[in-house]
Amino acid sequence: METLRQLLVGREISELSRVTHLLDEPEQLAAAVGSVLPSAAARVPHAQLGEALAPAVERAVQRSIQKSPRTLTDILYPVFLPAIRKSIGEKIDQTFQSLNETLRHIFTWHGLKWRLEAWRTGASFSEVVLKHSLVYRVEHVFLINRNSGLLIAHVTADNATSEDPQLISSMLSAIQDFVKDSFNEKEQSGLDTIRFGELRLWSEVGPFATLVAVIRGNPPEELHEIIRDVLLRIHDECSQALEQFDGDSSQLAGVETQLQTCVELKQEESNQGFPWLVVAAVLLVLIPAGGWFFLSWQSGQRWQAYVSRLGTQQGIIVAEQKVRDGQFYIAGLRDPLAADPQSLLAGTQVDPARVHSRWQFYQSLDPEFVLKRLTASLVPPDSVRLSIVNDRIVAEGEAPDTWIDRARAAAQQLSAGGPEFDISRVRDVSPEARAAERWQAYVSRLGSQQGIIVAEQKVRDGQFYISGLRDPLAADPQALLSGTEVDPARVHSQWQFYQSLDPEFVLKRLTASLVPPDSVRLSIVNHRIVAEGEAPDTWIDRARAAARQLSAGGPEFDISRVRDVSPEARATKHWQTYVSRLEAQPGIIVAQQTARGGYFYISGLRDPLAADPQALLSGTEVDPARVHSQWQFYQSLDPKFVLKRLMVSLVPPDSVRLSIVEDRIVAEGEAPDTWIDRARAAARQLSAGGPEFDISRVRDVSPEARAAEHWQTYVSRLEAQAGIIVAQQTARGGHFYISGLRDPQAADPQALLSGTGVDPARVHSQWQFYQSLDPKFVLKRLVASLAPPKSVRLTIIKDRIVAQGEAPAAWIDRARLAAQQLSADGLSLEISELRELTPPELTHLREAIQAVDIFFDSGKAVPGPEQLPVLDKLANQLKQLAKDARKAGVTAQFMLTGHSDETGRETAKLSISAARAETVRALLKKRGVDPELLLVRGAGTFEPAEIENSRTGNSANRRVSVTVNFH
């Protein structure tokens, strides 16, 4: 059985035991269930699992929070944070909006209205403001699938239009994507707000769908919450349909009603009119009534103010006052000096016509009123001050005795009942008053004086001050004081001079300013000043000018009766000018002069060096023709003239200066003894009667001066010498020092001394030798070094040294060497013009040869047969000379020069001359002359033997000549 059981179900049993074991062992069971749990959970229908798990999960979460809230906070943090942030942001926006709107409306008419509304409804003012200022309308609502951007539902408000909503919704989500991608925004919330002018797009993003509201106007921030609520509700109701949305919106038909609630949202401005008519009617009734009450109350107030004002007035006693039927009644007493009640009414705005007053006069013994009465009756002088001191009336100051007497009487009267009147402090000022009186008399006396104008005068502290204008010619105010009893010591006057135009003063002034000549008389005739008599025109001109000046306001000055006596007067005057001019001239003594019958006579003495009296006439306007003068010459001993004469006779050197010092003639400076001697002689001559001539200050400079002069002559002589360069020279202590350069070939400076008058013993010279490059010295040196033979002449031609003449070849070689050396120094020695000295034994033969000419026929380059003997002879002579020359150590050379006559062209002449020379050379060579010694040239017609006058040609010129040179 057991075996059978083993056979039948043995395998199942072991399997069962394994499963049982598995179930019993919690760890193994957990492992087994764990391996299938995920797939099992996946297969369970969603709802069931959710329901089953919900309580457990809730408890688990609760437990987790109890244990450590932080864990869950950390988990949820990424989810909450954006939501919280967004919520706070909206709240802040809301606050700002509220604040903005509140501020905007706080002081406006709307503001008042809304304040009333807030007070009535119990809402806050800002709430009311927002309610009224945020006018908006939700025009469209789009519900858009979040995944595909496809439109799920779209609701439009009445009258709102838009383009294809399907395209709009896609584009909106495209733009959301665009913004998100473009700015790398990770936020899941998407685009919140798009604003375009009046239009706003607000979007709320849900898990599956986005709700976009298109709002026109100014929506309140709370609208976000409303829209969000709608979206949440839609998600609640149709979350599955939303999740599975694939473009077919038929499943979501109910959504539109939800959206409709959004579209209905709006806040529009109230158009209700203000009840203007009612307000106006009420105002019409209220204003007159209020006005009447106010006015009657106001007039009562004003009357009371007036009455109390009267009550406070001194000298007014209000006995009775009442108001009845709008009329005012008042009665009482008043002092005549008190304020007039009637005049007090003015300014109170109480209607005087409604005031009925009854006043009785009385004399107040109030000190104030007593004071007023005293002031009126006593008329105190300005120097007295009345005042009230502790209910007493006190007079202070200064007054004359008469016033004091009257005041005393008044005081006695008052003593019966009235306030005390104290006059003890008034000083009696009668003496001063009397002095002032006298002063016034003096002042009025001054005022009556002609030429005195009193401008100001006053008396202060017993001193008198007066100021004004006075004519210098008027009476002296000070003098007028005498006899007035005014103490002059107390008078302080300040007078300014002015010119009185009173005729008397004007006459005085004219007399003073014009100085009329004796022949003119000035007088006053009927307030005019009249001048009579004779006067020169210059005076008349001045008088006329004065008359013109006076014409402006002053008295008339009549000069019509003054006769012009100028012509004679002028002539006389010119003469006098001339005479006084003459008299002022040194060296002229006027002995006598008269004017008679229009002629002038003068006589006197004159020095020949003095100015010419005749010449002085010019410019004086005296007619020379009418002058008869008689002058005798004399020598003036006036120092000036003596000086002039000395200058002429002594001719002082430049180093001497003559001058006049205190009538003495003084000579100063340096002069040679010779001049001093002459001056001394002149001084001796002058000593008899003339001014002193002092020559003591002239220093005798003869010896040194002469030596220095000689030295300078010597130095300049040296400087003029070629080959001598003076570097430095001085004269010191009678000795002469000189230094410089000299060429050995130059003149000897020492030798040059002779004949200069310089003492050689006093000359200290220091010369250094140098080679002068002056051609002259070079020449000298050459002469010294080369020792040229007598036949050579060295000359200087334009800084070049040219050697001319004859010399032996050996010397010429030395000269050539010297020329090369010199050229290194930039100098040139021309030796090209040197001829070699022909040895005497060759001279004869050379001259013979040079006398020979070979002649040609016209136009021929070959000599005729008659010339052959000449050629033969010439050849022999040449050969002989060449041989002799060689013997003498020189080389002879023969120049064959061809010539032509004047026939034929110029080029032809030259070529034929050359051709002739060549031919002769060839013929001579043929006759055994060494061709090396034969030189050829053509001279054309330039070196004719005979000058040709005709063009026919000259046979003498058709030739070849020979010259001999030795080298």
Partner 1 sequence: MQKKICMLGGFAVGKTSLVRRFVQSIFSETYLTTVGVKIDKKSVAFPDKTVDLILWDLAGEDDIGSFRVSYVRGASGLVLVVDGTRAATLAVALTLRERAEAEFGAMPFVLLFNKSDLADRWAISDSEINELRQRGWQIYLTSALSGEHVDDAFRQLASMVSK
Q: Which residues bind partner 1 (CB under 8 A)?
A: 145, 147-151, 163-164, 166-168, 170-171, 174-175, 177-178, 180-181, 246-249
At closest approach, how far in Å is the CB of 262 from partner 1? 22
At closest approach, how far in Å is the CB of 43 from partner 1? 23
Nearer to partner 1, 166 or 239 (CB): 166
Closest of 332, 334, 320 to residue 364, by C-alpha: 334
The angle formed by the CA atoms of residues 142, 147 and 148, to the nearest 5 degrees, is: 75
Nearer to partner 1, 149 or 938 (CB): 149
At closest approach, how far in Å is the CB of 44 from partner 1? 26
Say how far apart CA 151 and CA 169 lie, in whole Å.
6
Nearer to partner 1, 180 or 406 (CB): 180
Q: Reduce the secondary structure of 218-240 to three states and give it as a string.
A: CCCCHHHHHHHHHHHHHHHHHHH
For 209, counting Cβ atoms within 10 Å of its Cβ (0-12 exposed, 13-18 middle, 19+ buried), the class is buried
Nearer to partner 1, 78 or 247 (CB): 247
Nearer to partner 1, 182 or 526 (CB): 182
The length of the chain in residues reads: 967
Nearer to partner 1, 177 or 340 (CB): 177
Nearer to partner 1, 151 or 746 (CB): 151
Nearer to partner 1, 255 or 650 (CB): 255
Say how far apart CA 314 and CA 312 lie, in whole Å.
6
* Alpha carbon 135 to its chain's center: 66
At closest approach, how far in Å is the CB of 85 from partner 1? 24
The angle formed by the CA atoms of residues 566, 568 and 573, to the nearest 5 degrees, is: 85
Nearer to partner 1, 145 or 258 (CB): 145
Say how far apart CA 441 and CA 451 lie, in whole Å.
18
Helices then strands, counting H and E runs in the chain, come out as 28, 35
How is residue 889 annotated by DSSP? T
Nearer to partner 1, 164 or 857 (CB): 164
At closest approach, how far in Å is the CB of 211 from partner 1? 17
At closest approach, how far in Å is the CB of 217 from partner 1? 24
Nearer to partner 1, 44 or 174 (CB): 174
Number of other CB atoms surrounding residue 343 within 10 Å: 8
Nearer to partner 1, 248 or 932 (CB): 248
At closest approach, how far in Å is the CB of 155 from partner 1? 17
At closest approach, how far in Å is the CB of 248 from partner 1? 5
Which tokens sit at 16? Answer: 């069962």
At closest approach, how far in Å is the CB of 146 from partner 1? 8
At closest approach, how far in Å is the CB of 49 from partner 1? 26
Enumerate the β-bridge partners of residue 805.
792, 834
Proportion of the chain in helix, strand, coil states, percent, rounded to 5: 50, 25, 25
Nearer to partner 1, 178 or 293 (CB): 178
Which tokens sit at 446? Answer: 């001054």
Amino acid residing at 862: V
601-606 LR contacts (CB < 8 Å, sep 24+): 601/628, 601/629, 602/627, 602/628, 602/629, 602/630, 603/629, 603/630, 603/631, 604/630, 604/631, 604/632, 605/631, 605/632, 605/633, 605/634, 606/631, 606/632, 606/633, 606/634
At closest approach, how far in Å is the CB of 168 from partner 1? 8
Nearer to partner 1, 209 or 474 (CB): 209
Say how far apart CA 856 and CA 863 lie, in whole Å.
5
Q: What is the DSSP string of 125-162?
A: HHHHHHHHH--EEEEEEEEEETTT--EEEEEE-TT---
At closest approach, how far in Å is the CB of 156 from partner 1? 16
Nearer to partner 1, 182 or 482 (CB): 182
245-248 LR contacts (CB < 8 Å, sep 24+): 245/145, 245/147, 245/148, 245/150, 245/152, 245/208, 245/209, 247/148, 247/150
501 SS3 class? coil
Closest of 656, 694, 697, 648 to residue 675, by C-alpha: 656
At closest approach, how far in Å is the CB of 161 from partner 1? 12
Nearer to partner 1, 255 or 758 (CB): 255
Instruction: Could you list the beta-strand ranges (E) of 621-686.
Output: 627-633, 656-661, 664-671
At closest approach, how far in Å is the CB of 246 from partner 1? 7
Helix (H) or strand (E) holding 460: strand 452-460
Q: Where are the alpha helices (DSSP H) in 721-867?
A: 749-753, 775-786, 809-824, 840-850
Torsion of CA 230, 231, 235, 237, to 10 degrees: 20
For 391, counting Cβ atoms within 10 Å of its Cβ (0-12 exposed, 13-18 middle, 19+ buried), the class is exposed
Q: Reduce the secondary structure of 273-335 to three states and give it as a string.
A: CCCHHHHHHHHHHHHHHHHHHHHHHHHHHHHHHHHHHHHHCCCEEEEEEEEECCEEEEEEEEC
At closest approach, how far in Å is the CB of 149 from partner 1? 6
Say how far apart CA 713 and CA 758 lie, in whole Å.
9
CA distances to 236, 262, 907 from 241, rounded to whole Å, are 11, 21, 137
At closest approach, how far in Å is the CB of 183 from partner 1? 13
Nearer to partner 1, 181 or 456 (CB): 181
Torsion of CA 769, 771, 773, 775, to 10 degrees: 100
At closest approach, how far in Å is the CB of 181 from partner 1? 6
According to DSSP, the β-strands at 557-564 and 528-535 are parallel
At closest approach, how far in Å is the CB of 244 from partner 1? 13
Which tokens sit at 203? Answer: 């979007």
Nearer to partner 1, 175 or 475 (CB): 175
